[in-house]
Structure 1
Amino acid sequence: MARPLIADIDLDALRHNYRLACSMAPDSRAVAVLKADGYGHGAVACARALEDLAPAFAVACIEEAVTLREAGIATPIVLLEGIFEASELEQVEALGLWMAVHSDWQLEALLARRAARPIPVWLKVDSGMHRLGFAPEAAEAAWRRLAAAPDHVCDLQLMSHFATADLTDTGYFTRQMGRLRALAEGLEAPLCLANSPATLARPEARGAWHRPGVMLYGSDPLEAASAESQRLAPVMTLRSALIAVRELPAGEPVGYGGRWVTPRPSRIGVVACGYGDGYDRHAVDGTPVLVVGRRAAVAGKVSMDMMTVDITDIPEAQIGSEVVLWGRAANGELLGVDEVARHCDTISYTLLTGVLPRVPRRYHGAS
C-alpha cells in the first residue's frame, strides 16, 4: 500500500479562479502566473488547464519557460525577471517569449543583438517596491529608446509591482499609482500593473494587462477578505491519513522536546506528513487539521515524515482515517491554506510552493 500523502489538484477550481480574475477586470487581459512550478501545483498541468482561456502565461525565468515549451505549451510566455545574461536572448527569440526589461544592461543587450525578429517587451518601473525596475525619472528615456528600435522590440508595455496592494491602508499604494499614472500618460503607454490583491481590490490598477498569481490557486491575498476574494476556490488539498493512534494518560509529553503535554487522557493520531514533505515545521500546537472532516489540532512538533494531532474529541477517528492538512475534506468541510499559514507565522505562498516532489500530485477536472 502506498504512503497516503497526496496533493489533490482541482483544475476546475483553477479555471474558476482565473475566470473570477477576468471578471474583476473585464477590459484588461489576464496573464496567468505559473512561476515556481505553478505555485507548487504543477506548471505544465496548470498551463494545459488554462491554455484555452489565458492569452499569456508568466514565469520567473527562462528555465521555467523551457519546461512549458517542451511540454507543448504554445501560449505566449512572459519572463517576469527578463534575462539573467545576454546569451539567453537567443532562446528568448527562438521560443517566442516575451520579456521584462528592468535594468540598463538588459536594455543594452537587447538593442545590441542581431535580431531575426522583434521581441515583445514589458519595461519595468520601480514605482516604490524597490526591487527591480527603472526609476520613474529614468524610465521615460528607456521607453523611448526601446520604442525607437522596432527591429528589436515590439508590443511595448509599461509594468510595475505594488508593495501594499493587499493592505487596507491605501496610502503607499496611492503614491505608487500616482507615479505610474503620470508616467504612462506622458508616454501614452499601455500598463500591466495589477497583481492578485490589486486585481481583487484596486480597480484603478487594472490596465491593459493584469497578473493574477496566488489568487488563481485559491488563496486570498488580502489583509481583510472581500466579497470577491471569498469567491476563490481552493485548488490544492493536501491529504493524508492516520497511520497510528496512541492512547495516553494525562501528563505525557508528545513529540520532539516534549513541547505538548497531554492535558487529560488523550487520543493522539499520527499523520503521514512532515517537514520532509514540505509541511511547515513552525506549525504551533493548535494548528488546525481536518480528521474525518472534523477539526483537530497539531499536538507537538512536526517531524520529518510524521506529525501528531489531538483526536481525543473525534472518537470515530481510526487508523486509515482521512486527514486534510489544508483544502477540502471528503465531507465538504474546508480548511483554508491561509488559516494554516497564520498558525505557522508565514503566508500561503510558502506552504503551497513548499510541497516537495516526494508528494504525488493527483489531478482532476478540466478534462
Structure 2
Amino acid sequence: MSLKKKNLLFISGVFILYLCLYWTGTFAATPTGYTGIGKEPALSPNDEELTFTYFQNDHGALYSAPIEGGMAKLLLKPEEGKDDLQPAYSPDGESMLFLREWEGEEHMHKQLMLYKDGGLRPLLGEEEYVPYAAFAPDGEHVYFVKNSKYTETYNNRTQPNGFDIYKMNLNTEEIEQITNMNTVSISSLQIIEGGKKLMYSKSYETSSIKILDLESGKTKTILPVSSDYSKAQSPTLSSPTRSPEGKVIAFADVASKSSNGTFQYEIFTMDTKGENIKQITNFSDYAGHPRFFQHSNHLLVTVDRNFAGREPDYEYWVVERDGSNRKEIHINIPEKETEPPS
C-alpha cells in the first residue's frame, strides 16, 4: 500500500473517530457559568438550618443544610431559565419568601414568591420587580420593596425604577403602600420592634440607615459617628441588620485596600446611635451579608474569596459577635439532583 493511501486511510479514521466522539458527547460543548453557593443565605429562626441558592452552570436552585454543615437537600426545583434567590424564613420557620429572577425580552424580572407546605404561590405578577422582602413578626403580613415603573436605557432595554416599600396581607392579598419615596436607592429591608418599625438602608450619594416608625410615619437616620473605621476615602455601609435584642447593628463596609488596590470588605458592629464601632472580621477579602443568630451571640457571614475576579467564590462562616472563634460551614451538594421533598 502506498504512503499516500495510508495517510488517506489514517485521516479518514481520525475523522470518523471525531464524529463518534462528538455525537456521543465527548467533544460536545460543556455547560459553562458559575457553579457554587450564592451570597445571601437565610438563617432559620431556631438557628439550626440555613437555606441558600446553589448555582449549577449559572442556574440557581434553593437548598437547605444544617447550620453545622454536611449534606444539603434540594428544597425547591425552579423553572427552567429562572433562578430562586434571597430566601427569608417566616417567624415560625414553616414557610419562606424568595425571589424568582429571570431575563425577559425587555428587562430583568424578580418575582415575589411564597413557599409553604411544599407548595409554591406567586404573591405578585411576573412584571413586578422586587429586590427585597421580609416577613412581619405575625407571619401573616410581608413587607417588600417594589418598583413602580421601568426606565428605558439602551438597545430597547429597560431597568426598574421608582422603588417604595409595601405591605401585603397574606390572607387577603391586600397591598398597602408604606412609603412614597419613588427612589432607586433602597438597598435592604428589615422589620424590627415587633413590627412597629422598619429598618432599611439607602445607598445613593451618602449611604445611611433609616428607621421608619409605622405609627407616626417619622423617619430616623443612623450614620456611623466617625468614618475612621475604614481606610477607604468614602465608607459605604451595606447590608445592615439589627440584633434580636435591638442593641447592635452589624453591617459590611470597606476596611482597607489590598496591595493591588482592591477594596477589602469586613463586618463591623455599632450601637443604634452609630457609636462604639468595631471591626469584627479579618478575612482580607469580601465579607458581607451578616445574619444574627436568634439564640446565641453569633453571626452568619458570607465571604467571597474571589471578590475582584470574574466569578465569585463564596463561603459561609459563623463568628461570634466579637469576631472570635470563626468557623467555616462546609456544605456538600448531592451529585445527582433529586426531587424536593413533598
TM-score by length of 2: 0.30
More helix by share: 1
Q: Taking structure 1 as the reference length, what is the TM-score of the superposition? A: 0.29
> Which structure has greater strand proportion?
2
Relative contact order (C-alpha < 8 Å, sep 6+): which is higher?
1
